[in-house]
Structure 1
Amino acid sequence: MLVVEPKPRLRKRIIKFIKKHKISVIIVSLAFLIFGIVLYFYVFKNRSGVTPFVKKETPTPTPKLVRAPLSGVMVTEDRAKRKPIAVSIENHTASRPQSGLNKASLVYEALAEGGITRFLAFFQENDVFEIGPVRSARPYFLDWLSEFDALFAHCGGSVDALDLIVPYGIKDLDEFRWGTQGYWRDSSRYAPHNLYTSTEKLYEIAKKAGYKTTALILGYSFKEDLEKSKRPEESNITIGFNYPYNVSYKYDPKTNYYLRSVAGASHTDRITDEQIKAKNIVVIFMPTSYGYTKKGEQAVFMETIGSGEALVFFDGTFTHGTWKKDSRTSRTKFLDSKGEEIKFNAGTTWIEVVPPNTKIVY
């Protein structure tokens, strides 16, 4: 038979239970209360169109890339506006292997005295921690670096070159003035073939000298590399400087680079031991004469302003064209048979300046 307990007795048992388990009851009650509040805000409030606050991650903006004016490689706008540094680097046999040439945006190679060639290397978008060995200035170097109003790093120079630096308004970073603030000597080599610098040190002393380190540069025109399937399997170039300064370039169709050799051996970088390479090779035939400076020093004279024959190599092919420079501060242009400016591949360009009738094999 079912017995129904009277309600008053049940109430007493409930009260007795609550008194005995007071703390547990309070905890459970609070838990239900908190759950109810949370449920109210996240469900009922959302039904009213109120969205709970969620912290969003701010995405890092992708920097805009533009072509560097000298090399054409894609860089940030800040790097494209960085004022180039032109460094006079020697090519005496005791100076090899040199440091930093593989990181240059543009390199001129031209005769100095005694049949020895010398480099004028331009650095812009890359940070290079060792460049050298640094040597002295020549007048024709001033004409080429004036095209980009570049900062000029060198160690002294011929009297003719030094006398032109101030009248030309060259941004001069001569080691004779700046010493160890911008340069150092490497004790593992003997002087004068052991003077080095870096882009960091050169920009630092440029600021101390009051020179601007940014500029809007009007550079070369560029194009895309030729497709792999259309590249020739082989292409070699030989520049007829006298031994041990004779130069050759071997084309690599896989990378579309020209690999440089000097005196019959791979021309490598001192730090990385990598073979020096270029995307474009330009040979310009320039009127050249030999004589003496006002102090009676041997000198090479070049007619940098004017025009003449040029050979332009890229993609394993060549274009027979013309070089043209209208004034000291105007950029040297390389024109095809139609008079249109030749577009380079993006990457380092080497400009080989040779006297007329120099033997070039290609």
Structure 2
Amino acid sequence: MTTPARARALPRSVRLSATVGVLVSALVLGACAAESTSAESPSATPGTTASSEPSPTVTAEAPPMAVQPLRGTQVSPEAIAGPALAAKIDNHVGARPQVGLDHTDIVFEELVEGGLTRYVAVWFSDVPAEIGPVRSIRPMDPDIVSPFGGLIAYSGGQQRFVDMMLNTPVHNAIHGLADDQFMYRTRSKAAPHNVIVRAPELRAAYADIPPPAQQFAYSQRPQTASAAAYGNPAAGLDLFFSAKEGRTWRWDAGSGRYLRSQNGAPDMDSAGGQLAATNVVALSVGIDWTYGDIPKTVMVGSGPAWIATGGKVVQVTWTKSARDAPIQLTNQYGTPVYLAPGNTWVELVPNARGGSIAVV
């Protein structure tokens, strides 16, 4: 390679200085390029920090929830659909253990003739394949069932009582008459304690009937229910419907529920477990003897009541203003009291003729 004449004319020291200057400029330009590249993309070198803005964190919104109207639990709105199913359930010794009582949302126990009791049980959130045995209707049942709407299944009764039930906003499914295709007699029990209802099929036939209205006020958590928060510690309740028919409810801390016994023996369900409730509501009620030996529980009115929840009991006032109105539970200031989320048994205990309620 031939060196230009001017370059040859320069002193050696000048040529070396120019060469160094070129190299230094190249190094500076290279460092600037590297710094620019580093600012545009995260460095792979440990200990360096990228200068890009952090991405915002996206938090998914919780799906909307609704209150299950007969249990007070939080459920998706889609779960609240179809009618409530009530049934007149036998409590004769020949009917025990009953089918499906362990799945109920609300159960009412009422006095019938002979000092015995029967149930009006209501299913909505947890409907088993079968329920029963169902028996005949009684004069207080229209007042109990009307606030729920939906359906009621039973096995007939005196025509005057059937007519009373037909004159309600509730669809009547009657063994031997309306919707009999959803009922049958089981061979595992003797008549008349053996009429069983195919519950999901009956509800599906009337799926267009709207869901029930909420019956009680509920707290969001068990510990904030009125009895649990403000009641007195107690083992439970002792109830007598007559001189010979006693019921006990005892708090079981292990399960967080009250266990039920009848006449000194555990009250078992058809699955082999003892019947239990989150809330036990005992209403002191009057009895109308207009129908001779068939007592009618007076449901439209008011009186004292006791609520057992969470190992504590509180005394309240119950009020029911009309047949179609739900039972209202209020404290001494007239403020609504709250049940815990879960199932409830409502004991309609006579205030005379051997009926009594005791907190133990």
Q: Structures share a fold, TM > 0.5? A: yes
Please give the secondary structure, in 2, of the residue aligned with 1:78. helix
2:298 counterpart residue number: 303
Give the 3 Å change call, closer, same or farther, for CA 178–185 of structure 1 in structure 2: same
Q: Contact 2:182–2:199 at 8 Å: present in 1 too?
A: no
Please give the secondary structure, in 2, of the residue aligned with 1:329. coil
**CA displacement 1:258-294 (0-9 Å, x = unmatched):** 0001121111111x1111100111111111032436x
1:238 counterpart residue number: 238
Which 10-residue stretch deviates more, 329-338 or 237-246?
237-246
1:361 counterpart residue number: 358
Please give the secondary structure, in 2, of the residue aligned with 1:147. helix
Q: 1:167 deviation in Å? A: 2.8
Please give the secondary structure, in 2, of the residue aligned with 1:177. coil
1:221 counterpart residue number: 217
**What is the rounded CA distance, in whole Å, between the counterparts of 1:133 and 1:235 in structure 2?**
31
Matches within 5 A, 1:312-351: 312-351=307-346
1:166 aligns with 2:172: no
Please give the secondary structure, in 2, of the residue aligned with 1:219. coil
Matches within 5 A, 1:1-362: 64-178=64-178, 180-206=180-206, 212-215=208-211, 217-223=213-219, 224-226=221-223, 235-242=235-242, 245-270=245-270, 272-292=271-291, 298-357=293-352, 358-362=355-359
**CA displacement 1:194-225 (0-9 Å, x = unmatched):** 11113212213436xxxx33336233211111
Q: Contact 2:136–2:157 at 8 Å: present in 1 too?
A: yes
**What is the rounded CA distance, in whole Å, between the counterparts of 1:234 and 1:321 in structure 2?**
16
**What is the rounded CA distance, in whole Å, between the counterparts of 2:162 and 2:310 in structure 1?**
39
Please give the secondary structure, in 2, of the residue aligned with 1:331. coil
Identity %, equivalent residues: 27
Q: Contact 2:107–2:344 at 8 Å: present in 1 too?
A: yes
Q: 1:67 deviation in Å? A: 2.0
2:27 counterpart residue number: none
Which 10-residue stretch deviates more, 73-82 or 193-202?
73-82
Q: 1:135 deviation in Å? A: 0.6
Give the 3 Å change call, closer, same or farther, for CA 194–225 of structure 1 in structure 2: same
How many pairs were matched up? 292
Q: 1:74 deviation in Å? A: 2.8
Q: 1:168 deviation in Å? A: 2.6
Please give the secondary structure, in 1, of the residue aligned with 2:144. helix
**What is the rounded CA distance, in whole Å, between the counterparts of 2:71 and 2:309 in structure 1?**
14
Q: 1:122 deviation in Å? A: 0.6
TM-score, length-scaled by structure 2: 0.75
Please give the secondary structure, in 2, of the residue aligned with 1:145. helix
Q: 1:150 deviation in Å? A: 2.9
**What is the rounded CA distance, in whole Å, between the counterparts of 1:258 and 1:66 in structure 2?**
26
**What is the rounded CA distance, in whole Å, between the counterparts of 2:237 and 2:261 in structure 1?**
10
Q: 1:179 deviation in Å? A: 5.8
Structure whose alpha-carbon radius of gyration is higher: 2
Give runs of ≥4 in structure 1 deviating > 3 Å. Answer: 61-65, 204-207, 229-234, 242-245
Q: 1:148 deviation in Å? A: 1.6
Q: Contact 2:148–2:212 at 8 Å: present in 1 too?
A: no
Give the 3 Å change call, closer, same or farther, for CA 83–179 of structure 1 in structure 2: closer
**CA displacement 1:114-156 (0-9 Å, x = unmatched):** 1110000010011211211111111211111111213111110
Please give the secondary structure, in 1, of the residue aligned with 2:108. strand
Give the 3 Å change call, closer, same or farther, for CA 255–233 of structure 1 in structure 2: farther
TM-score, length-scaled by structure 1: 0.75
Q: 1:243 deviation in Å? A: 6.5
